[in-house]
Structure 1
């Protein structure tokens, strides 16, 4: 059932869902970049993150925020999109009720939404934030950040300068009980053009370390 439509706060939301083979497998939710700047669930980084989780046995959902693709509603400057993400996680948990945990991954605007969602959902045990827009949106809600995760950024990012990402990471690293892995990719820009493979290698290696698995444990996954 790769193509799914589920109810969101502003109408139907369009998504792609990869079910897990094991009943108690974890869930992953992948969130796309800014809707008003061409962000969709078919963004290459979003798609590759989705595939990365599926390979590792997760039940994975990516979806279009309100007003994108076949998703109903209109852009709501983050507040509505956070509600969409909460509804998406609710839907995935309904389909996969025995999931033992949850991960959230987001790219740019999606990273901002994802980090807000993990503040509200204690079942989220890890996150991957790709190029979080720390200069464009307020991240002060991360007080304290409840989960350990990876923040990854290109040092040639002209949209979100590295110093802004570093300020966010430095603030999070002062908190006890969580570990923030901050990785800086040399030469990569905000969109990771020509650097997606390296980005996925880093994200996948981080996830493998957290899960305690090796490539021998990966599952064959068809594209969807």
Structure 2
């Protein structure tokens, strides 16, 4: 798993990158939880998501947002972190120009950044959002949400209360042209204590079904 350094908007960004052997393989970008609450690209769930996509022959990248690890810059309350994510996707796409599609997976704060990124980037055809926090972050930009994806969260989550996530899911599920799959893990808290393996199993099952052509409506081409 090569360590990489690439240029971001606020200086260098540190990542871990695994290219696929196939030139036109899809890209997966994994986004970590809140930088000010211990979130890094080495979070176990982020690592496991990286490995999940890698096993399915995606070209896969996870990285530290600005100010974390060897990434330069300082925390920017989401605005700069979204720019970091866009720069990370640009960087991996520059190495894989034949790759036509992309997935983004984010956990907590990373889910918020990931869903903003998919609004900007038409090549993102699927997303996995783990424990998004609509009680803290504004998700009104998803109007409409352009891609089908999975929202998975815990029934015992006190950081992102299930009722708030449900309101977001209900709003997205009312939109035409996409399929939002929701999974509630009843025992799970925000940190998936004793539930992390089950979380990755659920994400893996969803990804496998999407790769088999299920759980998404046929996508009209979006113009970049």
**SS of residue paired to 1:68:** coil
Aligned counterparts of 2:135 and 2:49: Cα–Cα separation in 1: 24
1:100 CA drift (Å): 2.2
Within 2, Cα distance between the matches of 1:181 and 1:15?
29
What residue number does 2:208 align with? 208
Asked if 1:19 is matched to 2:13, the reply is no
Alignment-derived partner of residue 188 in structure 2: 188
Secondary structure at the residue paired with 2:62?
Answer: strand
Give deviations 1:158-185, integer Å, cap 9, x for gaps.
1010000000000001100000000000
Query: Mapping of 1:65-80 within 5 angstroms?
Result: 65-80=65-80
Q: TM-score, normalised by structure 1?
A: 0.94
SS of aligned partner of 1:24: coil
Quote the Cα distance in structure 2 between the aligned partners of 1:177 and 1:66. 35
| Counterparts of 1:187 and 1:4, CA distance in 2 | 37
The runs of 5 or more residues in structure 1 that have no matched partner are: 214-224
Partner deviation per Cα, 1:74-98 (whole Å, 9 max, x = no partner): 0000000000000000001011111
Instruction: Structure 2: state its 5+ residue gaps.
Output: 214-224
Deviations 1:29-58 (A, max 9, x none): 000000000000000000000000000000
Match of 2:54 in 1: 54
CA distance in 2, matches of 1:56, 1:136: 33
Matches of 2:175 and 2:212 in 1, distance apart?
24
What aligned pairs does 1:1-224 form with structure 2 within 5 A after superposition? Answer: 2-212=2-212
Distance 1:202 1:140 in 2: 27
Q: 2:148 & 2:69 partners in 1: Cα distance?
A: 32
Structure 1 Cα separation of the partners of residues 174 and 210 of structure 2: 21
How many residues were matched structurally?
Answer: 213
